[in-house]
Structure 1
Amino acid sequence: MWLIMEIVEHVSVRIDHIKELFVDALNEGDSEEMKRKFGFAVRYHSDLLELGFYINKCFSSSMLCLILLGAAILGCASFGYMQAGSSTYLIVCACWFFGLAIICISGQHLTDESLSIGDVIYDTKWYEVGLSLRKDILFVMMRCQRPMILRAAGFGVMNYIMIVSVLRTSYSFVSLLGATS
């Protein structure tokens, strides 16, 4: 969980750098230098998107296990705490929730940061550049509307909504265990 959070923070720093590169390129006075800098920023952005693909490829099955096991363990440990009152159950709940929260908050942060690239480009004076570069800028802005996300093996996206979904499922486990006991 910490590794995924640190990777997302690294990608976030790279996204901030990409935003600076786009702004620097679009504020350049010389049109040839502007095209060169903009092309570099686009290639950098493309490489970062590819890195996001590999992050999902490496960690999506782990995140799926975290979701599935987390919901069951949170539900069973919560029920155990309500029945026995032991602080051990409470610690288990806190640790699993903390791990889930780390991943989901990191996923939401990644999504928000990647969407902000288009906003930064839009806030520049992109409409004052040449027509050919303006078309390239519009393509980049359209691509920035599709955010980078952390996936849980096709099961869902790791974000704030996933935290709520897992907690709802955990509550269902608590209700089921309460009804059967």
Structure 2
Amino acid sequence: MFKNTTPANTITKKNRNNYLRDVKYKNYNYKNDIDYVVKISRTLLTPIGIYPLHGSDTTISKILVNIQIICIFSLMLFLLAPHLIYTYFVAEDLKRLIKIIAAQFFNSLALIKFWTMIINKKQLRWCLNELEDSWRDIASDEDRKIMIKNAKIGRIFTVAYLSLSYGGALPYHIIMPLVAPRIIMPDNSTLIPLPYPSEYIFWVPRDSPGYEMLFVGQILISSIILSTNCGIYSLIATYIMHACCLFEIVQRHLKYILESSVEGQFNDNLAAVIDKHNQAIYYAGLLEKSLNIVFLSEMAGCTVIICFLEYGLTTYFMLLTSIFVNVFIISYIGERLKEMSLKIGECTYDLDWYNLPKKMALDLMVIMVRANQPSTLSAGKLFDLSLVGFADVVKTSAAYLNFIRAMV
């Protein structure tokens, strides 16, 4: 079971910001700052029961949250299971099969993320609590500006993803069925194709109002799945950009560490900086451990989805664009986290350490040595998230596309 522990040999959390801080500074707007950072993910994830801070530790609260999760998961299965049966046992048109498999992959990714959030809820709750504590215990106005800058970047990524996802996926679920050729029944009546062609073994909804209720129900459930994807993505972006800002704050503190000419004060400041560095590394490492399966499913799944959507490029251009942006942003924030952690070593080397006494200069090497092992995000421990990984996804999807074109 996960324990709320911090790296060993660190200053206690109560005294963490005692050094290199403005003792007169206090962030009175921390509640508004926290609300700005987590509002989107909290709004999207709380209704489906997987927001890390949703619910309490009481027995009744746990039961209610579990009921909420079971209901949402049952709705997802009600949509996806008949869709899978139709795809692999009923559908005969291979070109049509290729198009709907993309939707299945997208929804399967949502299920993987859904259960990853549930399985790692304690770790993700700890990360969210640490995020809130960081905003409340900001050491100076300069640190707050760094945190706001990174929070804005995460917010921009989130809004871009939400806009493209809803703008690309909802038309796929609503407009495409309405403009598709009608289904002609044996009695010469016509039906609008369902957003998700499905085969219900024990129930065949062909008559009104059952068919209309199923049509609307599929749209609503697909919207829940889309909100699940968007909410989890928003929370991930928030977490990772906060990890980036922790490393950036360490860089800022390093630049002023040499202002203390007294050895005792220098050692205290250095200990505080090392503690902050360890906290940033621990935070990033916990995110990587908790979310690497999500990153793997996202990168692998999006590669396949891009391949299938490229096959119908004209029809699915908006949806294809949203998936490309999704993969790019995840790769970019992984690259940024690695870059920020590496800059700690560069920043330490750029200090005037050669003017320090030998013992004090050697103490700085602790930070440099540790920074040589950068914090990274991986896709299932197989490869790191980076811009190089994004290029590999694009190239791989193009290779799969050529294979499909040769086969179909």
Tell whether 2:400 aligns with 1:177.
Answer: no
Q: The residue matched to 1:75 in structure 2 has which SS?
A: helix
Tell whether 2:328 aligns with 1:101.
Answer: yes
1:128-147 deviations in Å (ceiling 9; x for gaps)? 22222222211211221221
Contact 1:2 1:102 in 2 (8 A): no
**Residue number in structure 1 paired with 2:370:** 143
**Residue number in structure 2 paired with 1:13:** 245
Q: The residue matched to 1:146 in structure 2 has which SS?
A: coil
The structure with the larger Rg is 2
**Residue number in structure 1 paired with 2:164:** none
Structure-1 separation of matches of 2:349 and 2:273? 15
1:79 is displaced (CA, Å) by 0.8
- Between the two proteins, the alignment pairs up a number of residues equal to 176
Tell whether 2:302 aligns with 1:70.
Answer: yes
1:57 is displaced (CA, Å) by 1.1
Question: What is the identity, as a one-letter code, of the residue corresponding to 1:53?
Answer: G
**Residue number in structure 2 paired with 1:54:** 286
Contact 1:60 1:151 in 2 (8 A): yes
Q: TM-score, normalization: structure 2?
A: 0.42
Structure-1 separation of matches of 2:252 and 2:318? 43
Structure-2 separation of matches of 1:173 and 1:92? 18
Contact 2:263 2:360 in 1 (8 A): no
Larger helix percent: 1
**Residue number in structure 2 paired with 1:116:** 343
Q: The residue matched to 1:172 in structure 2 has which SS?
A: helix
Percent identity reads 19
Root-mean-square deviation (CA, aligned residues, Å) is 1.3
Runs (4 or more) in structure 1 with deviation over 6 Å come to: none
1:94 is displaced (CA, Å) by 1.1
**Residue number in structure 1 paired with 2:268:** 36
Structure-1 separation of matches of 2:396 and 2:271? 46
Structure-1 separation of matches of 2:354 and 2:365? 10
**Residue number in structure 2 paired with 1:132:** 359
Structure-2 separation of matches of 1:20 and 1:30? 20
Contact 1:118 1:141 in 2 (8 A): yes
Structure-2 separation of matches of 1:10 and 1:79? 38
